Structure 1
Amino acid sequence: MAHKTSFPKHEIRVLLLEGISASAAQSFRAAGYSQIRLFDKSLPEEQLREELAQAHLVGIRSRTQLTADLLQEARRLISIGCFCIGTSQVDLDAAEDLGIPVFNAPYSNTRSVAELVVAEAIMLLRGIPAKNAQCHKGGWAKSASGSHEARGKTLGIVGYGHIGTQVGVIAEALGMQVIFHDIETKLSLGNARAAANLDELLQRSDVVTLHVPETPATREMIGAPQIAMMKPGAHLINASRGTVVDVDCLADAVRSGHVGGAAVDVFPVEPKGNDDVFQTPLAGLDNVLLTPHIGGSTLEAQDNIGLEVASKLIRYSDNGSTLSAVNFPEVSLPEHTGSTRFLHIHRNVPGVLSRVNDVFSRLGANIDGQFLRTHPKVGYVVIDVSASQTQLDDIRTALMEIPGTLRTRVLY
């Protein structure tokens, strides 16, 4: 049932940037959304501003930066999907203040990253990066010196979450000994064992791989002191976040031979596009593998991410469910067949819920169901009602007038 206070699907505008997998657009079309704008790249700021002004749902990857200023001007925007693991490219506080939930895909590319890391560990242990570089230059270094099997070596995993555990499982299948360190107590998989602390892990590992989020605590957590603790000739892999490693110190350690080799997929400063110049102190070092932030960039992972994030955006748009939103109260809602659903997003201050309930009581609407969740700054109440069209119009108006209201939507 279409109504001026509730967009029918064919009027909802979906904006998908940065070459998001076709599986996302297919999901939207299958769900009845027809106004979909697709761009293969991130947009210049002015064009992005213009596109956002018309969009109700937006999907981005890692290059598009949704700042507080941009979000403030995107007055039609109801939800954001980050088609990747991270959400640092979105001002989450600003989005929350505006009543805009943000969704991501924290686990869809887990296997892709894990496979790359284990492959890099094998390559580093065999000395392949340097041998490959020599062959390209006309050299021929046929020797077993410095070349080792993965079997029996110790892999140290820093950050034992979804990716770290997958890395451990694959590495164990190769016969590696797996130890890990995490700030939280984690149940180990297989024969993996927790190290006493980060220092012990660094001292024992033949290969160290990093799988931690970007936080103030992880910024340059691997610097000169930590690198010095590593076994002479050990290898370092970073497929987490570029700020986690001091790359200048790592480059010095590789040149000195203290670090036998490294594989780095993420960098403190990365180009915004494929045509931009990439620079790093690690460039030119033959025993270093450099990849352009492609740990999760497989077709399988991108298809999975497209399906996962699109389904979250669709579910929120269709029925108000916010399960797994990163900046918003989480509510998993049933269907509302036979009822009209009101979504009321408000500042989390005392008295709002009583005012909401007073609206329905005063206007004589029968409440079929009610759901409430709160976040530190935002409250989210969902009310299913049976009422006449006149009552529905009056309810919408009254809800919007409640002090502290951020936005109200009606779903028929």
Structure 2
Amino acid sequence: MAPRVLISDSLSTAAVQIFKDRGIDVDYLPDLGKDKEKLAEVIGDYDGLAIRSATKVTAKLLEKATRLKVVGRAGIGVDNVDIPAASAKGVIVMNTPFGNSITTAEHAVALMFALAREIPAADASTQAGKWEKNKFMGVEITGKTLGIIGCGNIGSIVAERGVGLKMRVVAFDPFLSPERAIELGVEKVELEDLLKRADFITLHTPLTDKTRNILSAENIAKTKKGVRIINCARGGLVDEVALRAALDSGHVAGAGFDVFTEEPANANPLFGHKNVVATPHLGASTSEAQENVALQVAEQLSDYLLKGAVTNALNMPSVTAEEAPKLTPFVRLAELIGSFAGQLTEDGITGVRLEYEGEVSEMNTRALGAAALAGLLKPQLDTVNMVSAPVMAKERGIAVEVMRREVAGTYDSLFRLVVKTPKLERSVAGTVFADGKPRIVEIKGIQMDAEFQPSMLYVTNKDKPGFIGRLGTLLGARGVNIATFALGRTAAGADAIALIGIDAVADDALLADVAKLENVVQVKRVTF
């Protein structure tokens, strides 16, 4: 029986034809995604679901999707898909991360021009027959400073366009290497410096806990008077209420927004201001981009349903059927090791070394490396996956080195990740035991044996008597239950590490209390 695919959002008809040409039964119902009750009634009949942004793939919908194997999002954002729920149901979630990059970058540049020359207001005035030539006094782009927050795939395209427009381009991105910045012709700066210097600020970063309200009231106040702010990335990156106040006061000269905290945006604090240009999430809305992402998602879903090939998956590694049984536990290990290192790393990453020892060195290390990079970049780039991680690392100038040693040491297989920043070099190593569970066996050369837990505390300290007791007493007093406790040290009385699995995510107050303990050097919250 041929697989069945439902397209519940508006996609190019070329995508429908691809499914038909590949022998897949396809139903094109572009308005169904807006009706969650009707969608829930029929979803159980389909093996694949192709969507854009209107369809909400919730845990409730997935309960009804008894046959569903794969969801394909035509575009990069998957805010409308409950990925943990999909993973729990065994449903693969794919996206098309690079199909609309140029289109979105061009829209940001278009909004910059519209703000600089007050084009929307001048158009409305002229078409009303007013001919108010002296009213609309714009500013030149040439020679101005363009500040880019997030210089990845889309941000780097905007940077190149800005350089071509003879602008001075500065970029804030922890993952942008000095070498990549030179290649793009931009100056890498810290956020505070960008806020002070930029005449135009454009955002091109995903929405994560670290980037939410990155332009807060406090940061907007630090901007140069007369700045113009553009957001074609994600609603929630800018405090819209604070921005409206800054527009009203005249501190911010204008804002061009294509995305909003609440969408569809029937009302918004920015609406109605004479110096705001607003568009209804048109960043990816060109015929070329729509065609590209539609064709990509159709090919990806077809390849998976017919051949089992996994491409651009957000919740599953790209592994062949033959490799899966032996490789999958090590893919998980590599991703967890990467995530652990990524959460501990605060500075920009300049290089990564992936080391494979013993039996693992003969496996598909490309998949393992991609999983490690995805885990490493995930804390900063929420939509990164195994397929896009190597590309994103390259875009940011992160040098990736691979070392293989076929001779096994203490363990039959060992994977070690070494992360390099301008300030330090940190290594984390792990293995998979016979029980199939991944473990950390070494941090910064210190031997230990620690299982990964959903919530953990990473503590570095001086090895002095009484420390473990004081730490345990503090956690007990705060009502924090310890699940696992792993220790290691370089030598008696020297540097030591404690890795503690706890039953709840550590809050900031707990971290502060642990940091105050005698002999504590550093404490970090780590979650998986």
- Shorter-chain TM band: 0.7 to 0.9
Question: Does 2:230 match 1:254?
Answer: no
Q: Which has the higher strand share?
A: 2
Amino acid at match of 1:232: K
Change (3 A) 1:35 1:344: farther
Task: Report how far residue 253 of structure 1 moved.
Answer: 1.0
Change (3 A) 1:13 1:343: farther
Specify the alignment match of 1:322 in structure 2. Answer: 310
Q: Residue 16 of structure 2 aligns to a residue in which SS?
A: helix
Specify the alignment match of 2:50 in structure 1. Answer: 59
* 1:9-408 equivalent positions in 2, closer than 5 A: 9=2, 12-40=3-31, 42-135=33-126, 139-143=130-134, 146-186=137-177, 187-188=180-181, 189-195=183-189, 197-271=190-264, 278-331=266-319
Specify the alignment match of 1:364 in structure 2. Answer: none
Q: Residue 208 of structure 1 aligns to a residue in which SS?
A: strand
Change (3 A) 1:227 1:148: same
Q: Which moved more, 1:209-218 or 1:121-130?
A: 121-130
TM-score by length of 2: 0.59
Amino acid at match of 1:320: G
Aligned length: 336
Q: Distance in 2 between matches of 1:198 and 1:315?
A: 42
Task: Report how far residue 103 of structure 1 moved.
Answer: 0.6
Structure 2 stretches lacking a partner, 5+ long: 331-362, 373-435, 437-528
Q: Distance in 2 between matches of 1:200 and 1:154?
A: 12
User: What is the CA deviation profile of residues 371-393 of structure 1, one whole-angstrom value per residue up to 9, with x for unaligned ones?
Assistant: 897989xxxxxxxxxxxxxxxxx
CA contact (8 A) 2:118 2:136 kept: no
Amino acid at match of 1:312: Q
User: What is the CA deviation profile of residues 81-136 of structure 1, one whole-angstrom value per residue up to 9, with x for unaligned ones?
Assistant: 01121112111111112221111011111111111111111221223244334445
CA contact (8 A) 1:263 1:288 kept: yes
CA contact (8 A) 2:32 2:39 kept: no
Task: Report how far residue 222 of structure 1 moved.
Answer: 0.7
Specify the alignment match of 1:354 in structure 2. Answer: none
Task: Report how far residue 332 of structure 1 moved.
Answer: 5.5
Q: Distance in 1 between matches of 2:301 and 2:277?
A: 37
Structure 1 stretches lacking a partner, 5+ long: 1-7, 272-276, 334-340, 350-369, 377-403, 405-412
Q: Distance in 2 between matches of 1:259 and 1:246?
A: 13
User: What is the CA deviation profile of residues 278-297 of structure 1, one whole-angstrom value per residue up to 9, with x for unaligned ones?
Assistant: 10111111211100011111
Task: Report how far residue 80 of structure 1 moved.
Answer: 0.4
User: What is the CA deviation profile of residues 26-85 of structure 1, one whole-angstrom value per residue up to 9, with x for unaligned ones?
Assistant: 211121113433324523221010121111100111121111121122010010001121
Specify the alignment match of 2:493 in structure 1. Answer: none
Q: Tell me which stretches of 4 or more aligned residues in structure 1 moved more than 6 Å.
A: 341-349, 370-376
Q: Distance in 2 between matches of 1:270 and 1:90?
A: 15
Q: Residue 262 of structure 1 aligns to a residue in which SS?
A: strand
Task: Report how far residue 212 of structure 1 moved.
Answer: 0.9
TM-score by length of 1: 0.75
CA contact (8 A) 1:129 1:287 kept: no
Q: Residue 280 of structure 1 aligns to a residue in which SS?
A: coil
Amino acid at match of 2:55: T
CA RMSD between the two structures = 2.8
Structure with the bigger RCO (C-alpha within 8 Å, sep 6+) is 1
CA contact (8 A) 2:151 2:176 kept: no
CA contact (8 A) 1:236 1:262 kept: yes
Change (3 A) 1:302 1:167: same
Q: Residue 58 of structure 1 aligns to a residue in which SS?
A: strand
CA contact (8 A) 1:232 1:259 kept: yes
Amino acid at match of 1:160: C
Q: Distance in 1 between matches of 2:136 and 2:64?
A: 61
Q: Distance in 1 between matches of 2:30 and 2:294?
A: 14
Q: Distance in 2 between matches of 1:344 and 1:15?
A: 31
